[in-house]
Amino acid sequence: MLNPLWEGGEAEVQQGLPHGQLGPAWQILMLGDGSPTRHLQLLTGERTEVDVIDMSLVGQDDDGAPELVRVVPGPRLRRQVWLRNESGQRLAYATSWWEASHVDEYLQNRSIPIWRSLARLRTELYRDVQGLHFGHSKALEEAFGQAGPFWGRHYIFWHHGQPLTLIYEVFSPYLQRYLGPMQGIIAKP
């Protein structure tokens, strides 16, 4: 999780941000309701791969997640991954929280991206972006090999009107070579 310099909620997600704060191409990635792993694949021209860092049962604990995690029924399982291209470049970090009793149903192969798992099952979803984050993380600076601050977001996947998972993602500044400058100039409100 990022140590925030700035955070935005539903209002910012709906209206978008000034381009001096977050560039237009970055807004498409951050605020769009499409699959980020699919977008990363289209941007880099390489298949997006997943390195699973951890899968742990966290029970009813909020686990430091955005407050919205409470809509995901417990006990919960936390999955942490790196999203990278085939060349090994880390492009994003993601944590997701799942109802533990249903995770095997949707992530039959845990080593592939969520969107690929759900596409295989023809699962109809609604990606509901709820928040934006801009901040620092020493661990992510080391892992990405890039200085922060970083942009992140969190969203809920809804399936048949029920929350399926909460996902928190942080994107590497490396993506600037495809999306242009992030901008990221934040004035204190």
Extents of the domains making up the chain? 3-179
Cα dist. 22→28, 31, 77, 124 in Å?
Answer: 10, 11, 32, 30
What's the rounded Cα separation, in Å, for the pair 180 and 95?
25
pLDDT, position 130: 93
Q: pTM for this structure?
A: 0.87
pLDDT, position 188: 42
pLDDT, position 104: 63
Question: In terms of CATH architecture, what is 3-179?
Answer: 3-Layer(aba) Sandwich (3.40)
Token couple for 124: 């109809």
Token couple for 118: 């759900």
Task: Name the helix (H) or strand (E) containing 105.
Answer: helix 103-106
Q: Is 186 helix (H, G, I), strand (E, B) or coil?
A: coil
Q: Are 46 and 86 in contact (CB under 8 A)?
A: yes
What's the rounded Cα separation, in Å, for the pair 45 and 112?
17
How many Cα atoms are found within 13 Å in the side-chain-facing hemisphere of 160?
2
For each of the chain's 189 residues, which pLDDT tens digit applies? Answer: 899 999 999 899 999 999 989 999 999 999 988 788 889 999 999 999 889 999 888 988 889 889 989 999 889 989 999 999 999 999 999 999 988 877 666 565 555 555 555 555 455 566 789 999 999 999 999 999 999 999 999 999 887 888 888 999 999 999 999 999 987 555 443
pLDDT, position 121: 46
